[in-house]
Amino acid sequence: MLLGCIGDDFTGSSDLANTLSKQGMRVTQFSGVPQGAADPSVEAGIVALKSRSIPADEAIAQSLKALEWLKAQGCTQFLFKYCSTFDSTPEGNIGPVATALAEALNAEKVVVCPAFPGAGRTLYQGHLFVHDQLLNESGMEHHPLNPMTDADIRRWLARQTQLSVGHVGYEHVRQGATGIAAALDQANASGARLIVVDAVTDTDLIEIGTALDGLPLITGGSGIALGLPENFRRRGLLAGTGNKWTGVAGQSVVLSGSCSTATRGQVARHSQAGLPMFEIKADAAIAGQLEPKHIAQWALKQTKRPLIYSSADPQVVRQVQETYGRERAADAIEGLFGAIARELVAGGIGRLIVAGGETSGAVVESLTIEALEIGPEIAPGVPALLATSRDGDKLALALKSGNFGGPDFFADADSLLSP
């Protein structure tokens, strides 16, 4: 294993897996820190954690454990993947985890770059944009778990870490790899250890990737990985075989716990198409009135792709959170989705499409999936995934980040996951 990655959620990890796989690396995504050693053919290993929205000290402990395992697999470079919308609160967890990893690796110049131009996330003058809107005006200011109320990533990060935060502006990035490397040195010479780097296009990210050759720690969205495989390829370290893929037959089900704008559009499209849908009401889930077995049985009886969803408008989510507390609501709904997924898999489904990072984490953990093979891209940032149980049963999955995918994502995913 060459490149060791730590993802702070499951959909984000598969987003990164997609980028690395498209750039020709053999990639495996692991659910949590594996017990044993990885298959020696894996070139980039991604340990997917569910550490985005847990207390910072727990996120640090899990990330350091993942780092130790990745080191033991032989990795020489490490990447901490977080969301391209920099999902975090003033307490963390991006700053605390990046700080702990930097200390553990004695990393002096640590790039911080959430940019993902393919999904409309660009970083300019230290400010993060979602398409043509500043992050804090993009809808992310209403996020149920981490409302993003400041687009200045330097300022937001500085609230989360003791390390000094620097910046490499676009005037250096546009000079290419050599200019970027010199600007990183300069920022570090002025005392900065976490260095926010502007990036507007994929070409910028490839140049940044070239400049990062040999640095122990990199942090960012999946875009920051675009230029990294080439550094290994140049040294003749990649086998060049990529990943293989076959879809899975049988029934498919969609689970959506995401309340993001894109997901709500996909839920609306599913409804317009007249496909079967079952709404999980937060109140009923929190009161323990919903029986996972019954909901799964309803889905298993459907002949067309059913959707089970708790996705709701921001004002509905706000009301639920004010009544019950954010964590209580999230735990109840995520727990329910996990339990439904177990019943569905026991019922023999072949394909499972999950919307939402936290929801996907809850589902994959509940299914005790250890490793996921990476298949072709369904939409920018979302690959097809394949899990194989100890008995050889296959489940094809799509784990979709809240704001990813076009309105027809559920249909697109289902057809790509099919044989």
Q: Which residues bind ligand ATP (CB under 6 A)?
A: 11, 144-145, 257-260, 263, 282, 310, 312, 316-317, 320-321, 329-330, 333-334, 356-359, 401-403
User: Is position 153 an interface residue for ligand LCNOYBR7 (rule: CB under 6 A)?
Assistant: no
Contact 177, 211 (CB under 8 A): yes
Q: In terms of Cα–Cα distance, which of 130, 117, 133 is closest to 380?
A: 117
Residues 88-127 touching ligand LCNOYBR7, rule: CB under 6 A, are 116
CB of 350 to ligand LCNOYBR7, least distance (A): 25
Stretch 300-329 residues interacting with ligand LCNOYBR7 (CB under 6 A): none
User: Around 393, how many Cα atoms within 13 Å sit in the side-chain half-sphere?
Assistant: 13
In this complex, which beta carbon is closest to ligand LCNOYBR7, that of residue 120 or of residue 176? Answer: 120
Beta strands in 222-314 (DSSP E): 252-256, 277-279, 307-309
84's contact among ligand LCNOYBR7, ligand ATP, none, with CB below 5 to 8 A by partner kind, is: ligand LCNOYBR7
For 302-371, give the DSSP string: -SS--EEE----HHHHHHHHHHH-HHHHHHHHHHHHHHHHHHHHHTT-SEEEEESHHHHHHHHHHTT--E
Q: What is the per-residue binding string for ligand LCNOYBR7 in 32-71, x denoting contact by CB under 6 A?
A: ----------------------------------------
Per CB under 6 A, does 350 bind ligand LCNOYBR7? no
CB of 11 to ligand ATP, least distance (A): 5
Please, are residues 337 and 399 in contact by the beta-carbon 8 Å criterion?
no
Nearest CA to 192 out of 92, 108, 127 is that of 108
Q: Which of 1, 3, 6, 15 binds ligand LCNOYBR7 (CB under 6 A)?
A: 15
Q: Which residues contact 118 (CB under 8 A, 6 or more apart)?
A: 202, 223, 380, 381
CA dist 227 to 108, 124, 313, 381, Å? 20, 19, 38, 16
The distance of Cα 102 from the centroid of its chain, to the nearest Å, equals 21
Nearer to ligand LCNOYBR7, 349 or 374 (CB): 374
Strand partners of residue 92: 89
Report, in Å, the least distance between residue 2 CB and ligand LCNOYBR7.
21
Helix 10-22, helix 357-366: angle, nearest 10: 90
Contact residue for ligand LCNOYBR7 among 19, 62, 84, 210 (CB under 6 A): 84
User: Shortest approach of ligand LCNOYBR7 to residue 353 CB, angstroms?
Assistant: 15
Of 406, 358, 419, 355, nearest in space to 378 by CA: 406
Quick one: what does residue 116 bind among ligand ATP, ligand LCNOYBR7, none, with the CB cut-off 5 to 8 Å set by partner type? ligand LCNOYBR7
Using CB distances below 5 to 8 A depending on partner kind, what does residue 329 bind out of ligand LCNOYBR7, ligand ATP, none?
A: ligand ATP
Site mask for ligand LCNOYBR7 (CB under 6 A), range 358-397, x = bound: -----------------------x----------------
Q: Are 218 and 229 in contact (CB under 8 A)?
A: no
Check: CB of residue 52 under 8 Å from CB of residue 358. yes
Contacted entry of ligand LCNOYBR7, ligand ATP, none for residue 117, CB cut-off 5 to 8 Å set by kind:
none
Q: From ligand LCNOYBR7, ligand ATP, none, which one binds at residue 251 (CB under 5 to 8 Å depending on kind)?
A: none
| Residue type at 331 in one-letter notation | D
| DSSP element (H, E) containing 63 | helix 56-72
CB of 146 vs ligand LCNOYBR7, minimal distance in Å? 10
Buried b (16+ CB within 10 A) or exposed e, 385-404: bbbeeeeeebbbbbbbbbbb
334 binds ligand LCNOYBR7, rule: CB under 6 A: no
- As a whole number of angstroms, the distance between CA 32 and CA 203 comes to 32
Considering the complex, what minimum distance in angstroms separates the CB of residue 340 from ligand LCNOYBR7? 21
Is 221 near ligand LCNOYBR7 (CB under 6 A)?
Answer: yes
Contact 117, 223 (CB under 8 A): yes
320 is in the binding site of which of ligand ATP, ligand LCNOYBR7, none (Cβ under 5 to 8 A by kind)? ligand ATP
d(CA 335, CA 323): 19
Which residue from 180, 401, 409, 412 is in contact with ligand LCNOYBR7, where contact means CB under 6 A?
401
Q: Which residues bind ligand LCNOYBR7 (CB under 6 A)?
A: 9, 11-12, 15, 83-85, 116, 221-222, 357, 381, 401
